[in-house]
Each structure stands twice: as C-alpha cells, then as structure tokens.
Structure 1
C-alpha cells in the first residue's frame, strides 16, 4: 500500500466523519459542501425507498426540514472500507445514529443502525460524496427518559 493510498483513505474517512459531525451540530449548509452539486442521495427503510433526492440544493432543503424536527442528533461511525481508482472511489461505512424528537409532549428517541454505500470524486483539491445510499437496517423508537 502506497503512502498516496493511505493519505486518500484518511481523507475519505475524514469526509464521512465530517458528514456525521456537521449533521450532529445541524450545520447543514457546511455539510452540503461535502457533496458534489449533482449529488444523488437515496434512503431505504428496510426494503422501502423512503427518500430519493438529486442535487445539493434540494438535499439541503430536505436536511434542513428534517433537522427542524429534531432536538438532538448523536452519530457514531464504525467501519469504513474504500476502493480507490484515481480520482474516484467507492466506500461502505456503518453508523449508529440517535435522534431525539418531541412527540405528544414527550421526548422520543429513535436509534438507527445504518449502512452507507458511497461513490466519491476528487474535485478542486478535495474528496466529495457524489452518490450516497443509506440503508436504515435497524430502527428502534422508544420514550427518552
């Protein structure tokens, strides 16, 4: 493994970690800078396609709408594997996402176990997410005490 590949792997890992951190902080405009302008983003809840968005501006609107309904996000990233091919790469990462929302006057926590399949591109000196598919594999909702 070359030093260049190790550097690229680290940059891609930093990209997915930045995505999680900025999302947790509800810094949606900054988070959008991690995507290409023509990004595609799909979200599956089990086998159901729950979201299918194309374009950074539309994605930003959707993320802002979602974030307005959430009191707190907390994300932990796990494994991240990548295959690099010059200025493009593919990757798979796993995350645990917790969200606190208010429902019927009570705080409700939803815990998501997510697998992301990504396509990355190197543009203007940095790696960006071009395509992302989120598979929300386990979803658990419960009162938050």
Structure 2
C-alpha cells in the first residue's frame, strides 16, 4: 500500500508542476530514456523518446499556454516489486490566446503509466496520454 501512496504523489506532482510550468522539476519524475505518447481517438499524434526530447516538447507547449489547471481523479495501480502499472484519470484546462481572444480548452485524459522504483524513488518509465474528450471555446469574462 505504501507504493500506491508514493505513486499517487508522483502523478499529483506531475499535475502540480504542469500547472506551475516547472518543466525542469517535472523532468525529475521521469527516467532518462522515458517514452511519452499522446493519442486522440486512438490515433497516435505524438511519440516522444527520452527526457531531452520531452523537455523540449514541454517547453514549446508551455510557451504557447497562458495558464493550466489540472485535477486528478482516480488512480489505480498494480505493483510488481520494483515496477508498477497505473491508470490516472485527469481533467486539464488550458488557456491560450488566439487572434487576441483567450481560448479555454478542456481535456478529459487517461494516462496509462509504467513506473519503476530506482534509487529509493518511483519514476515514470512510460506514459501514454489518451485524450478522451476535448472541447475548446472562447473564455467568458
């Protein structure tokens, strides 16, 4: 049960660091040769390999976003010694400016994760992000 609690802290730290745009700290949650894939409607739209590429992708994204707000819901994990699998249900709101108008995008996401316990801490080995629902609209004042 202790591993499940520690893994929940990892996925919550990921969300908090996203909201705070702290990419370097966020990279500390991943192994160096991590893999991060993103799917919309089961179609692969991004396949990122390694922490250097992940940091570049996240930096590009952060520079396009005014604000993030993330809420994590259910987190189911299965632990196998020093490895684990998990599913995280997450809701993310993103504000971007397009043609002088703030656009609010609302993402319903499932993360399918593989974790590994190294040097006394849990890290994300692989993260598959499935965007289940996406809605975008002008932000109302």
Which whole-Å CA distance do the structure 1 matches of 2:16 and 2:86 have between them?
Answer: 18
Structure-to-structure mapping, 1:94-109, within 5 angstroms: 94-109=89-104
User: Which of 85, 91, 110 is equivalent to 1:90?
Assistant: 85
Which whole-Å CA distance do the structure 1 matches of 2:28 and 2:114 have between them?
Answer: 15
Structure-to-structure mapping, 1:59-78, within 5 angstroms: 59-78=54-73
Which whole-Å CA distance do the structure 1 matches of 2:120 and 2:56 have between them?
Answer: 26
Q: CA RMSD in A?
A: 0.5
Which whole-Å CA distance do the structure 2 matches of 1:44 and 1:37 have between them?
Answer: 22
Q: Which residue of 1 aligns with 2:28?
A: 33
Deviations 1:67-108 (A, max 9, x none): 100000000000000000000000001000000000010000
Deviations 1:88-138 (A, max 9, x none): 000001000000000010000000000010000001110000000000010
User: Which of 7, 12, 21 is equivalent to 1:12?
Assistant: 7
Which whole-Å CA distance do the structure 2 matches of 1:143 and 1:48 have between them?
Answer: 26
User: What is the deviation of 1:47?
Assistant: 2.4
What's the TM-score, normalizing by structure 1? 0.95
User: Is residue 132 of structure 1 aligned with residue 127 of structure 2?
Assistant: yes
User: Which of 107, 120, 125 is equivalent to 1:112?
Assistant: 107
Tell me, which stretches of 5 or more residues in structure 2 are unaligned? Answer: none
